[in-house]
Structure 1
């Protein structure tokens, strides 16, 4: 497990140290670069240089959408039974951190082929976070907000390349590969810095919701793998991506629209720490599903 989990832990700790240090890290600028440049470049680079079939990418994208749908149903049921606020905590339990943690973990566990599958999964989750997740907190859906997401245009370009068979010019392919390559370390540094600056306000509630996020992720992943009959690496990728902790961007939305941000940030911190503690077990299960571990 050390070659897989070690780099993740080291980069997160570096980010944490920078967040606690005097020099700090300009997270606003770095996160903007990640969202506006690095993420679209990684998606374009990964999905236009496929070593796996387009059918596998479509299957993973469908699995991601189904995981989110099942997670939403389970989260709504849990919140209904416990009296929790759907507006405040449905995205918390529904949306995994498939970017900061999921992508690096899958890449280290499964290599380039896993990266391509994880990128397809990440696109679906990222678009859902910036459309459904934001809309829940805002109380309304705005198409303009979604259309301002560069990921959409990156996906459209990928579809154009794959359907027409156009050869991507080497200079564009190399630029996209180099730019996308900075996304994973940047995301891990941002995760560490964010953990250094976030504070838990309601520990009991945070612990309960953090365990809920993990349980919902595991259940939704197992259900989707069974429903779609996934085997091998796709099953392992879906399991890891679905079981990641609450996404940090959910806290950003809750703060913007003033939907219990103090409690939401607590869930983000505790959920992330809980997932870190469970990473060896989650990774081992995913490797077993992929037929890599015994």
Structure 2
């Protein structure tokens, strides 16, 4: 369990630093937007390219991927149905679905997979599903939502013009072919990519200090519904599919269930801020799900094992 608490402590420290910097007026609202923009356009693409090029793709095409995919799609579908009934705008529904089903597989998934599950490669199916399928799809829909006039060519070409999607595709291409970036290119990209997570967390901390307090910016019922989908429905679905449909072994079943119980990822807030769609909902969902996921992961680990 040490890896769980260590991962959370690291995240909490950077968020607290962002709160402090905003309180001391070192970073204002404009600075927060700059951090989010830097993470979206520069640091995150560099991080994704360098991480994905070294991925073990053999671990991705497995029963764990099927269970993870089913849990994510079914959980997101529940939110989408509710959003349609409420007649939400497309962009708002996309952010809500991401808050309900997009896992913090990077900052928390990797240390938990390494120290709790015993194998960091177990996070690969979740990580790549989100980076290569969910995130490009969400970004495309958000681009569509923000455009008054559309054409099929423009819609289909949007993923190729998004830096995060392009970087993910390049990283996957390197992993499939076995090619590697030369050190003169890889080393600077690694340094730039190292800014991604700190930038996201600092921007998130600044937003906590400058914006309305968590729970006051969105209706409590909506926030509770999103967090409930993330921490209760998604892990239950992952467990049910993994055990009853795929008959996964204990280690794989534990991995998919624990990873499904992780909180909403910080980059959902970055995306919401970039597209100006439900950023407060994203912020609050990340905060509440991060706090509550600590007991959630502990309970899941105890029950599955």
TM-score by length of 2: 0.73
Residue of structure 1 in register with 2:128 after alignment: 120
Match of 1:39 among 44, 69, 91: 44
The 5 A counterparts of 1:102-121 are 102-111=105-114, 112-113=120-121, 116=124, 119-121=127-129
Higher alpha-carbon deviation: 197-206 or 22-31: 197-206
> Structure 1 residues 239, 133: CA separation in 2 closer, same or farther (over 3 Å shift)?
farther
Q: Across the two proteins, how many residue pairs are aligned to each other?
A: 280
Residue of structure 2 in register with 1:74 after alignment: 78
Higher alpha-carbon deviation: 245-254 or 267-276: 245-254
Structure 1 residue 240 and structure 2 residue 240: aligned? no
Structure 1 residue 14 and structure 2 residue 27: aligned? no
> Structure 1 residues 77, 246: CA separation in 2 closer, same or farther (over 3 Å shift)?
farther
Partners of 1:67 and 1:128 lie apart in 2 by 17
Partners of 2:39 and 2:65 lie apart in 1 by 21
Residue of structure 1 in register with 2:33 after alignment: 28
Partners of 1:266 and 1:29 lie apart in 2 by 17
Q: Is the 8 A contact 2:45 2:193 kept in 1?
A: yes
Structure 1 residue 276 and structure 2 residue 279: aligned? no
Residue of structure 1 in register with 2:249 after alignment: none
Partners of 1:61 and 1:151 lie apart in 2 by 22
Structure 1 residue 184 and structure 2 residue 197: aligned? yes
- Structure 1 outlier segments of 4+, above 6 Å: 97-100
The alignment's C-alpha RMSD in Å is 3.7
Q: Is the 8 A contact 1:92 1:213 kept in 2?
A: no
Shift of 1:32: 2.6
Shift of 1:95: 0.7
The 5 A counterparts of 1:131-142 are 131-136=140-145, 142=155
Match of 1:148 among 161, 168, 186: 161
Partners of 1:189 and 1:109 lie apart in 2 by 22
Shift of 1:54: 0.9
> Structure 1 residues 99, 144: CA separation in 2 closer, same or farther (over 3 Å shift)?
same
Shift of 1:166: 2.1
> Structure 1 residues 2, 249: CA separation in 2 closer, same or farther (over 3 Å shift)?
closer
TM-score by length of 1: 0.76
Q: Which runs of 5+ in 1 are unaligned?
A: 256-260
Q: Which runs of 5+ in 2 are unaligned?
A: 115-119, 247-251
Deviations 1:100-154 (A, max 9, x none): 9552122332345466555424413322331124435657683344322112222
